[in-house]
Amino acid sequence: MAKISKETFSFLKDLEANNNREWFAENKPRYESAKEEFEQFIDELMLGIAEFDNSITHHAPKDCIFRIYRDVRFSKDKSPYKTHFGAHITAAQKRSDIHSKAGYYLHLAPGGTLLAGGAYMPNSDWLKKIRSSIDQDASQLREIINNPDFKKTFGSLGGEKLKTAPRDYPKDHPEIELLKHKSFVVSTNCSDSLVLSETFLNHCVQVFRTLYPFDQYLNNTIE
């Protein structure tokens, strides 16, 4: 069974302390080894997810993993590399459409690993359809996010919200707090000891199994 090693965490910690091209070039073999390990982990994670959500089976792991190279063109922070590994596993057909479907996100970083999912900053058409579904009948979404296992795993619904009612909805709408959301996301943090354990892969699969009805609800609004 795939697992995350101390060597991968050590590489990411050292990269955070030496985020420059010269150091990265000197440590390229360490990066390649950590990248390969993460790719293998995502491969087995996808097999686990496919047991309850076969919509993601057309992707290879590398299609779901984000590049470690940062786009610094419009950023004040010119650090060339991300100091984490990230993967977003979705049913989207193209890599460029990675945020067009709700899916399963793993953010791997020493002291900052999390599992998340949902609709992150959905485009205007998708957002309108989510809000329309809530407006017509929010009971299904309420049932999902109020499920005891879901709440125990993720807590409350997160994501950026408007300060007031969205256009076309009254301020006294009974579901106004849900309608204010611009993103519909949930997440759960993972300790370093859990990430480095033999059980982390199974933990990820179980968390994403709990997430699945939430993702399915959001994706059904556009299908």
User: What's the domain count of the chain?
Assistant: 1
| Average pLDDT across the chain, whole number | 94
CA–CA gap between residue 132 and residue 129 (Å, rounded): 5
Classify residue 210: in a domain, yes or no. yes
* The amino acid at 42: I
Q: Identify any residues that bridge with 188 across adjacent strands, giving them in sequence order.
A: 115
Q: Where residue 98 falls among pLDDT bands split at 50, 70, 90?
A: low
111: left (phi over 0), alpha (psi -120 to 50) or beta: left
Look-up of token digits 């409350």? 156
Classify residue 73: in a domain, yes or no. yes
pLDDT exceeding 70 applies to what percent of the chain? 97
Contact assessment for residue 120 and residue 104, using Cβ atoms and an 8 Å cutoff: no
CA–CA gap between residue 175 and residue 180 (Å, rounded): 9
Question: What is the residue range of 57's domain?
Answer: 6-220
3-state helix, strand, coil in the chain (%, to 5): 50, 15, 40
Q: Where residue 82 falls among pLDDT bands split at 50, 70, 90?
A: very high
Classify residue 1: in a domain, yes or no. no
- Is residue 23 predicted with pLDDT exceeding 80? yes
For residue 223, the model assigns a pLDDT of 78
CA–CA gap between residue 189 and residue 107 (Å, rounded): 10
The whole-model pTM stands at 0.94
Classify residue 47: in a domain, yes or no. yes
For residue 108, the model assigns a pLDDT of 98
- Is residue 11 predicted with pLDDT exceeding 80? yes
